[in-house]
Amino acid sequence: MKILIKNGLVIDPANNIHEKKNLFIKDGTIAEDGSFSEGEADRIIDAEGLLVMPGFVDLHVHFRDPGFEYKETVETGSAAAACGGVTSVCAMPNTKPVTDSAETVRYVIEKGKKCGLTNVLPVAAVTVGQEGRELTDFGALKEAGAIAVSEDGKSVMDIVTYREAMKLAAENDMLIMAHCEERELVNGGVINSGEKQKELGLAGIGSSVEDVITARDIFLAGETGARLHLCHCSTKASVELVRMAKKLGYNVTAEVCPHHFTLSDEDIPCDDAMYKMNPPLRGREDVKTLIEGLGDGTMEVISTDHAPHSAEEKQKGFSKSPFGIVGLETSFALAYTRLVETGVLTLDGLVEKMSVNPSRIIGIDKGNLAEGKPADICIADINEEYVINPDEFKSKGKNTPFGGMRVKGRIKYTLLNGQVVFENGTLKSEKEQRKMQ
Ligand code: DOR
Ligand code: ZN
Ligand code: ZN
């Protein structure tokens, strides 16, 4: 199978490429420039006026499978990824059962392969059942295909247990992805502490909830030599702590989610759980510092923390709804609109944060359009303006605060291993189904 992507603006920062050119794909991989003629191509994609980028790599999604299939499945989550130009995802382990065994790791991988819409890379739990006591078998989990370990959804609160986890991660050369939240300090909080919280009469989550554990984890990583990746950083101090960690030479990287750099708690209109996630939307100063951290390279990754929940669950207001919003189908548009249009990041910078850096951090051979690399590609129109409509999401979760927001940047095509899995609003699987009818 030969595909020619014609006349697109290719943004491939891993190879210092930012130019209008043709891209040749043969048997699933990037082929040499000019390796076949137009006439020889099985398919020509006209990318005139469009961006051609390495597919995005989202280090943080919840696919809810196994166990919470009413919220999302590997199929629907993969579909959402393909729509968002995301060709690899790290699936967090807070499933039922928890992804703490080789068996569950293999289940997620197999299901992901069967769907064939995005590379699904399972993240295994740090402790058995995510109960915070007994460490899982990192070696066996890695062997089964776990890409990293994380206790996401919470922190391992016992510091000695977590230090052991870091040692074990370092020994097994496994990345540890940290959700930083001091459980005792949360104390029933559901929204950022501050004016908005008082106005709505809800229990607050102070910044220290995140900051004290972020600091703890950085020092543990420094001492044990573990590779630490900080999930969904939301506070000013988190950015400063990452800066410090890098200065000290520790192996620490960090991600910011689109909701945390797009909205502050001041944007919460009322007691609407579409704005409820963990960590919460923070203050304006925090948002400003997160954006600065993205701009100056301190924060290397944009990931979504795609956290689908049912409509029923999210109807119950801040106090009673679960934390989390979906993100896979809006991440590129939000990042482009909020960071590139405003001059915080260049297009190359955006591709670095959404594809190149995350690939490097988890050690996969993606985020790169050099000859011989797997043809995981996304093609976008940055001139297309539209209003986000959650009813159009392929994810089961429609829980987003971004419905009705006007953004710029639409994903037009997504290719996975040289196969078009999404084009102009339609998934490969939908197209095949239509053909069969
Ligand atoms: O908002 C969140 N949702 N934060 C988390 O840490 C967990 C996630 C979920 O699993 O729903
Ligand atoms: Zn988390
Ligand atoms: Zn998460």
What is the pTM assigned to this prediction?
0.98
- Would you write out the chain's pLDDT as a tens digit for each of its 437 residues? 999 999 999 999 999 999 999 999 999 999 999 999 999 999 999 999 999 999 999 999 999 999 999 999 999 999 999 999 999 999 999 999 999 999 999 999 999 999 999 999 999 999 999 999 999 999 999 999 999 999 999 999 999 999 999 999 999 999 999 999 999 999 999 999 999 999 999 999 999 999 999 999 999 999 999 999 999 999 999 999 999 999 999 999 999 999 999 999 999 999 999 999 999 999 999 999 999 999 999 999 999 999 999 999 999 999 999 999 999 999 999 999 999 999 999 999 999 999 999 999 999 999 999 999 999 999 999 999 999 999 999 999 999 999 999 999 999 999 999 999 999 999 998 877 677 66
Residue nearest to atom 7 of ligand 1 (CA): 153
Q: What angle do CA 72, 393, 28 make, to 5 degrees?
A: 85
Q: Find out whether 116 and 88 touch, Cβ atoms under 8 Å.
A: no
**How far, in Å, CA of 228 to CA of 282, rounded?**
23
Q: What is the pLDDT of residue 429?
A: 80
DSSP 176: E
Amino acid at 431: K
Give 436's contacts (C-beta < 8 A, 6+ positions apart). Answer: none
Copy the structure tokens of residue 318: 């801040």
Q: What is the pLDDT of residue 351?
A: 99
CA 305 – ligand 1 centroid, Å: 7
Q: What is the pLDDT of residue 435?
A: 75
Which of 60, 70, 94, 230 for mutating ligand 1's site (highest number of atoms within 8 Å of CB)? 94
Domains of the chain: 2-52+373-384+405-436 (2.30.40.10), 55-362 (3.20.20.140)
In terms of Cβ atoms closer than 10 Å to its own Cβ (0-12, 13-18, 19+), residue 424 is exposed
Active-site pick, 58, 65, 305, 348: 305
Beta strands 51-54 and 377-387, pairing class: antiparallel
Q: What is the pLDDT of residue 437?
A: 64
CA 180 – ligand 2 centroid, Å: 7
Which of 130, 155, 209, 277 for mutating ligand 1's site (highest number of atoms within 8 Å of CB)? 277
Whether 152 is catalytic: no
CA 92 – ligand 3 centroid, Å: 7
Residues with CB under 6 A from ligand 1: 62, 94, 152-153, 179, 277-278, 305, 307, 322-324
Q: Find out whether 390 and 327 touch, Cβ atoms under 8 Å.
A: no
Q: Find out whether 54 and 366 touch, Cβ atoms under 8 Å.
A: yes
Copy the structure tokens of residue 238: 């988190």
**How far, in Å, CA of 144 to CA of 134, rounded?**
19
Nearest to 232 by CA among 263, 214, 255: 255
Residue nearest to atom 1 of ligand 1 (CA): 324
